[in-house]
Structure formats: structure tokens, C-alpha cells
Amino acid sequence: MAHTEKATFAAGCFWGVEAEFRKLKGVIDTQVGYTGGYTQNPTYKEVCTDRTGHAEAVEITFDPKLIRFEDLLGHFWNMHNPCTLNRQGPDVGSQYRSAIFYHNAKQKEIAEKEKAALIKAGKKVVTEIVPAGVFYRAEEYHQRYHDKHGGSCSLS
């Protein structure tokens, strides 16, 4: 089996974010869920109250020989608006925040460098860059939602 790595991003409603990442060659698997909060085993209903501290996020398993973390990060920056605080499109609340949950020092360094470059270019980026913590897999009906139900997603 190929060597794989993980990347975790929050960029608004996780349905569309997952669908976009699943299209990329080198992405082996994805799962949607909740991370970055303080409630253990949160449910979707609880996360939607904006009181658990969690973000809707996508955990990506990828083959770094086929797609680099930098490439995933490039898609992340382009698929949402990293300059809106706790909002993506019509979705409002800290659970829809823009965040990169890094899994190692190299991911942190790359994310911080790219964020700094965007800020230097005049963007008011509010994306959090924080260590990956416990990732709680969302309820099964959220997994691959667009594959199951069709639909497109406006991510910004």
C-alpha cells in the first residue's frame, strides 16, 4: 500500500468542501466531521448551535507522491473565502470558520507561509492555522453527501 498522509481543512459547509477535494487525483479518501472544539462526540445538531467550538471539517487521506499538501492547500484557498470571519456564503457561525488543522510541522510551515503571502498581497485572511486534534466523524448521512444526493455547491 502506498504511503499516505492526512490533511484537515474547514472551509464552510463540509458537504461541498468534501465534494471538491474528492475530485482531485491523489486524494485516497475523505470523511466529514467536527474538530477544533471542546465537546466530546458532538452531534450535527449540537455543532449547529455554535456552542461546541467545533468547525465542520474534512479530513483528507492523500498520497503525497500523487498530490502534494501545497496542491491541496491551493484548492483550499480557492474554494472558499478565507477573508470572511465565521461565514461562508449563507452559512454563519464559528462552525463555518476557515481553518487549517495541521498534522505535522511541515504542514504548519507551508500553511503559515502561504497565509503570510496572501496577507502581503493585501488579503485580509482570517484562516486559523492550528494543530489537528480529535476529529469526530459526522453522522453517516453527511458522508459523501453530494454523491448520494446530487447537487452543486456554491462555496463562497
Question: Cα–Cα distance between 101 and 54 in angstroms, integer?
Answer: 12
Question: Cα–Cα distance between 9 and 114 in angstroms, integer?
Answer: 15
Question: Phi and psi for 106 in degrees, rounded to 5?
Answer: -65, -45
Q: Which of 37, 33, 117 is nearest to 73 (CA)?
A: 117
Question: Cα–Cα distance between 19 and 35 in angstroms, integer?
Answer: 19
Question: Cα–Cα distance between 113 and 107 in angstroms, integer?
Answer: 10
Q: Which of 30, 27, 113 is nearest to 72 (CA)?
A: 27
153 catalytic per annotation: no
Burial of 138 (0-12, 13-18, 19+ CB in 10 A): buried
The residues that are catalytic are 13
